[in-house]
Every structure is written in C-alpha cells, then in structure tokens.
Amino acid sequence: MKSLRIALAVSAIVGLTPPAIADTGVSAALPTGVSASLWQAYQDVAIAPSATFPYQAVTNFALDPTPRNDKWYAAPNVIVTGAPNAKDLQNLKDFTATVAQSCTGMSPTYQTQIQTVTTVASRGRVSTVTTTTPNTYLMNFYYVPTAAFHKVSSALITLPTTATDAAIFNYDSAGNIYSTKSLLSSDQATQATRDLATKHYLLQALGLFGTTTNKSAHAFLAGNTAWDGELSDFDRELISLHCSTAVPSYRTAPEIADSITREVSAIKVVKPTDTYKILGTATDTTAHFVISAPSIDNQIIQGIDHLSYSVTDDSGATLAQGDLKVSGELFRASWTLDYKNLNPYTTYTVSVAPVNSGGFGATTSYDLFTWNYGNL
C-alpha cells in the first residue's frame, strides 16, 4: 500500500526558479567512471535530506535527515490535462524527447491518454467499464486557469490568484516518485514563462530538484534566471547519470557511488556492439558535428574507453583524426566537433567507432556538404 508524500510547488509571476536544496556538506568518494565535477554536481542537484525536498506540504519522511536521491521506479508517461495551446503541446513534446535522449534508464515518453469503454454482461445485467491508458506512472502537466488549480488539489486552495504555476509530487513509502502534477497557468503566465516552467517541472519531476554552481550547467545552474531553455552538454550528463540503472533510487551518495563502481567493475569485455549516432549542420565554410551515445547504460556495460574518429573530404584528404575519451566520463552522452575555413561545395565525412579493451566496434559514417543546404 502506498503512503503518500505531497510536495507543493508555487512560483512567483516572474517564473519558476529551480529551488535551492540545503548543502549537506558531505561529498562521497568518487565512483569509477564519473568525473569529479559531474559527481559533485550530481550531489548538489539530486541528493538531499528528504525532509528538505522543495515545496513540501505533507511528508512521511520529515524525521529522516539522511541525504538521498529520488527517482521513478518505472519510466514515466508524460500526459496533458486541460486546454494547452499548440505551442504548449509542442514545447512539452520537444523537451520530453530531448530529455529522453539522455535519460535512457527511465526515459519519459509523451503519451495521449485513451479511454476505452467496454460492455460487460453478468447475470443478466449489462454495465459499462471505462478504462484509461496509460493510468500509472503519470507525469501530468495541467494547462488550466490559476483559479482552477485548487480543483486539482485542495492543498492549492490558498494560492494567490496571480500564481503562474504550481506542482504536487507523489512518492511511495520507499521514496520512489510514482506520479507528479505540474500546473501551468493559462491566464496568468505568458507563453515564455509557461514554456520555461514546463521544462523546469519536467526536470524536477525526474527527481533533479536542486542547483549547482558548476558553470558548465545551464538548466541546473544556481541563480540562472536567464536560462534559455536549452540543455548544455553538462546538463545532459547530469540527466544521464541520474537516469542510469547503475544509480539506485532513494539511496545515499556513498551507496550510489558503490553501485556505480560495482557495475563498472563487473564489465565483461567484448567488442562494443552499439552504433554511435552522428548528426551535423554546415554553411559554405563551416561544419558542426554532434556524436551521441545510443545508450548510456550500454556504454558503461561495454566499458567503452574512447571513440576513434576521422574527418575526410571528398578527395580522400584527412582533415582531422583522433580519440574522444570516454572511460573517465562514462555518463557523457555527446561530443561535438567544429571546423571553420572549410572548402565550399565539398562533402566532408565523419567516421566514428567505439573502442574498448576487446577491440573496435562498428564504424558509423556521416556526410555533410558545405553549402547552406546543410546535410545531404
């Protein structure tokens, strides 16, 4: 039977700012495969005493001072309720897909709820049963007028009529998140405010409540009231680490570090089996390539040491080649390559192969034409 903890969130008219979580002053030993900067930032953002988790109205964990993290025990279904406009929907869909690229262990998925009505006959009587799917692990975003917030929960009855957003997060007795409700005002918030609040609440609904002073972070950077809604590479690493199956839920930093180290140490060396992805954009003289890991958990399990890459033009000449280090940062999900002063009207090919102590994995190649039409 689930015991309920409700976290109540309210922000000012100027928009939601990520909440500060109390500094515990504790830094656990560095786990294998995680950089020191990423590990410290994860502790800043995701680990705190449950009694200090933000926006709480009611809690069953108030007496537990032990800093822990919080995760879903199943992949959440992202749904909407109310009357979102087209921009609200597109913003939520796009950001869910963006986060899912890094959150491979408990990937959120945008879903449309479907109601099915079934006629059931029993002992001469006929009745109908209405079934709604999905109906579990719901990350629900409400786009409704502020005056309707209290209809979602009576805990919101005291909100000011000018509130732009609020949230209620539900947890089970084991500390796992099992449903969240984020409310975005359709009459008191501008589109820009609502879009950013949607993104903040989605990240917080994953269990990433806090902030860090690491300047490589954007979404999670403390005091960053000018966040543009884009995730930095470091933000993506934080998400990847949190969502990984190597990171258990409702555990302390030392317990999480031990779990990660055990998983990395248990690697059975075989040649890599994953194929890394490449995308790119170009102008007449520049090229921008993004290489991404298809699965962070597989990157860990396969013990990827580095990515071997080369860049050649259509004459066969080599522009660049080298290795992109992975082993010290197994939770890194993407790498970028940028080149300037290129020849116009030329096809440049990037080839990438993952490498571990067992050898080379499959090579991925991607062609980009230097003209304003971009990718071929």
Domain contains 97: yes
Are residue 353 and residue 237 in the same domain, yes or no?
no
Are residue 250 and residue 297 in the same domain, yes or no?
no
Give the residue from 202, 231, 261 where a domain finishes.
261
Report the candidate in 84, 323, 282 with the shortest Cα–Cα distance to residue 191.
Answer: 84
Are residue 223 and residue 340 in the same domain, yes or no?
no
Are residue 130 and residue 244 in the same domain, yes or no?
yes
Domain contains 13: yes
- For residue range 346-355, what is the model confidence (pLDDT) as tens digits? 999 999 999 9
Domain contains 266: no
Residue 251, SS3 per DSSP:
coil
How far apart (Å, rounded) are the C-alpha atoms in residues 299 and 287?
A: 26
Give the residue from 209, 233, 261 where a domain finishes.
261
Domain contains 22: yes
Sequence letter at residue 58: V
Report the candidate in 330, 242, 268 with the shortest Cα–Cα distance to residue 293.
Answer: 330
Are residue 29 and residue 80 in the same domain, yes or no?
yes
- For residue range 270-309, what is the model confidence (pLDDT) as tens digits? 889 999 999 999 999 999 999 988 888 888 888 899 999 9
- For residue range 23-49, what is the model confidence (pLDDT) as tens digits? 444 456 899 889 999 999 999 999 988
Q: What is the pTM of this model?
A: 0.81
Which range (1-15, 145-159, 229-243, 293-307) has the least confidence?
A: 1-15
Are residue 109 and residue 212 in the same domain, yes or no?
yes
pLDDT category of residue 195 using cuts at 50, 70 and 90: very high
Count of domains observed in the chain: 2
The mean pLDDT value for 308-335 works out to: 92
How far apart (Å, rounded) are the C-alpha atoms in residues 260 and 288?
A: 33
* Residues forming a β-bridge with 360: 355
Mean pLDDT of the chain: 86
Domain that holds residue 346: 277-369
Are residue 207 and residue 313 in the same domain, yes or no?
no
Helix (H) or strand (E) holding 184: strand 177-185
Handedness of CA 326, 332, 333, 335 (dihedral sign): negative
Give the residue from 197, 226, 261 where a domain finishes.
261
The mean pLDDT value for 200-218 works out to: 95
Q: How far is CA 106 from CA 18, 95, 137, 186, 335, in A?
A: 22, 15, 11, 29, 22
pLDDT at 85 over 80: yes
Which range (102-116, 155-169, 319-333) has the least confidence?
A: 102-116
Which residues in 252-264 are b (16+ Cβ under 10 Å) and which e? bbeebbbbbbebb
Are residue 95 and residue 153 in the same domain, yes or no?
yes
Are residue 216 and residue 352 in the same domain, yes or no?
no
Name the token pair of 26: 């504790």
* Residues forming a β-bridge with 295: none
